[in-house]
């Protein structure tokens, strides 16, 4: 499977800025508050670390959960009187919203107690109207559930869908265009869409697709025709795309697109995560960029102009090398300020220059190993990798 150079290919080996978390903690996720970057760390701290957006000084540490943080994401949706916030969930069985006004205490908390049992939570999201919060649980016995809350009444879930999946629910994402439609993915190999407002689970299921192996990540794709479709990535590093009715349209090994030349080599070992652009990329039928990593700690940005034409080559736009020693767990893209922030199992947090692909600012590529000096300011989002979850 071919991987071609973008005309603007740039290779950078020196971050704009760099820092480390204490105690060799893994950097699990990176997200955005209005005035800060937020970084979540692995056990034993299970903390959120706040960094100033102007110079990346560490300002505060919040002890976020009593057990491992399994998901953290930016939430721009107003929920009650909470504006821009962070959304986190944990194996301690809670979903929490955080904003800068509440400081080290969550602004809102939801508990996963169902039938007197507290459930460990692995994934979470909030609908675009701010009226529904969803979270996926781990497998306990034969039961893995999608729990739903009304954030105006957070004490207990308003409903649970217990038949959608039969193993750990690793991803839940509300549709951006249909607030009641929830995409879920699981270690059982299924990607599903459900009506989150339907109490009768027999009526809630919309579509089901079977990847065939445990799913680590999944998400929505916004296409040029305006119809959202779905992507999924397995623990075996296979990447698949699906129609809005969850009919498979592509299934590839994400490690296959590679470059082997005397002047350039890139080999993918794993998918770090996918990034949805604010609009469909020029010349593309989709809004996705793919961040892939090597076991040595290098990162690359690749795209594919068409996710339905299987003959379409992949394009290599940027490489960031020597910034990490080992697996890169998390990545946040700030398109507004042409920056990415990467975090790894080496506890390192690096800030890099990253103009968007196919934009005028990205047309003068360079391979001199230098970085673009600039002020640090804003941000984006990215997932963690399931195959390392048990190690944290």
The Cα–Cα gap between 88 and 72 comes to 4
What secondary structure, in 3-state letters, does 296-328 show?
CCCEEEEEECCCCCCCCCEEEEEEECCCCCCCE
Is 3-391 a domain of CATH 2.130.10.10?
yes
For residue 155, how many C-alpha atoms fall within 13 Å in the half-sphere facing its CB? 2
Tell if the pTM clears 0.75, that is, is over it: yes
In this prediction, residue 357 carries a pLDDT of: 64
Distance in angstroms (rounded) separating the CA atoms of residues 389 and 378: 28
Q: Phi then psi for 388, rounded to 5 degrees? A: -105, 0
Q: How far is CA 86 from CA 12, 33, 163, 265, in A?
A: 30, 7, 29, 38
C-alpha to C-alpha distance for 231 and 135, rounded to whole angstroms: 19
CA pair distance 146, 131, nearest whole angstrom: 16
- CA 146 → CA 49, 56, 93, 138, 279, distances in Å? 28, 36, 13, 10, 30
Judge contact between 229 and 215, C-beta under 8 A: no
> What is the residue extent of each domain of the chain?
3-391
Distance CA 206, CA 189 (A): 17
| Residue 368: per-residue pLDDT | 44
Output the CA–CA distances (angstroms, integers) from residue 228 to 5, 172, 184, in the order listed.
28, 15, 15
CA distances from 125 to 73, 232, 257, 295, 326 (A): 8, 17, 31, 30, 29
Q: Which ranges of the chain does DSSP label H, i.e. alpha helix?
A: 201-204
Dist CA 109 CA 133 (whole Å): 11
> Of 195, 192, 320, whose CA–CA distance to 266 is shortest?
320
Residues 293 and 343 sit within 8 Å (Cβ to Cβ): no
pLDDT of the chain, 392 residues: tens digit per residue: 789 999 889 999 999 999 999 878 999 999 988 888 999 999 888 999 999 988 888 888 999 999 999 999 999 999 988 889 999 999 999 999 998 777 789 999 999 977 678 899 999 999 999 999 999 999 998 889 999 999 999 999 999 999 999 999 999 999 999 999 999 999 999 999 999 999 999 999 999 999 999 999 999 999 888 889 999 999 999 999 999 999 999 999 999 999 999 999 999 999 999 999 988 988 999 999 999 999 999 999 999 999 988 899 999 999 999 999 999 999 999 888 889 999 999 999 999 999 876 544 444 444 444 433 333 333 333 334 443 333 43
What whole-number distance in Å separates Cα of residue 282 and Cα of residue 357? 9
Confidence at residue 312, expressed as pLDDT on a 0 to 100 scale: 93
Alpha-carbon gap, residue 211 to 252, rounded angstroms:
11
């Amino acid at each position: 499977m071919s991987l071609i150079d973008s005309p603007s290919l740039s290779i950078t080996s020196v971050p704009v800025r760099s820092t480390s978390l204490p105690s060799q903690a893994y950097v699990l996720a990176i997200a955005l508050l209005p005035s800060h970057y937020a970084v979540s760390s692995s056990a034993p701290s299970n903390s959120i670390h706040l960094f100033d957006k102007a110079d990346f000084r560490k300002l505060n540490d919040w002890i976020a959960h009593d057990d491992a943080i399994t998901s953290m994401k930016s939430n721009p949706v107003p929920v009650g009187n909470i504006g821009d916030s962070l959304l986190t969930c944990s194996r301690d069985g809670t979903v929490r919203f955080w904003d800068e006004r509440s400081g080290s205490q969550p602004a809102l908390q939801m508990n996963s107690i169902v039938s007197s049992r507290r459930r460990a939570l692995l994934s979470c999201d909030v609908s675009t109207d701010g009226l529904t919060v969803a979270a996926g649980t781990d497998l306990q016995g034969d039961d893995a559930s999608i729990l739903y809350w009304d954030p105006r009444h957070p004490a207990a879930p308003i409903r649970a869908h217990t038949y959608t999946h039969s193993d750990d629910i690793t991803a839940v994402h509300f549709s951006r265009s249909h607030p009641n439609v929830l995409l879920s993915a699981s270690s059982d190999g299924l990607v599903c869409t459900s009506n989150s407002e339907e109490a009768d689970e027999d009526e809630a299921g919309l579509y089901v697709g079977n990847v065939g192996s445990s799913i680590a990540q999944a998400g929505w794709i916004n296409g040029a025709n305006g119809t959202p479709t779905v992507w999924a990535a397995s623990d075996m590093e296979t990447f698949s795309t699906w129609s809005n009715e969850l009919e498979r349209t592509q299934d590839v090994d994400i490690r296959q697109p590679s470059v082997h030349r005397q002047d350039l080599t890139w080999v993918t070992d794993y998918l770090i995560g996918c990034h949805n652009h604010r609009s469909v990329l020029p010349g593309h039928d989709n809004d996705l960029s793919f961040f892939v990593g090597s076991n040595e700690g290098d990162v690359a940005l690749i795209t594919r102009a068409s996710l339905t034409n299987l003959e379409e080559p992949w394009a290599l736009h940027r490489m960031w090398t020597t910034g990490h020693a080992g697996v890169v767990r998390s990545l946040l893209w700030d398109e507004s300020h042409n920056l990415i922030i990467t975090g790894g199992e080496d506890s390192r947090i690096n800030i890099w220059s990253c103009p968007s692909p196919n934009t005028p600012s990205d047309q003068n590529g360079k391979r001199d190993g230098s970085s673009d000096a600039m002020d640090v300011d804003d941000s984006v989002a990215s997932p963690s990798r399931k195959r390392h979850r048990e190690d944290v």
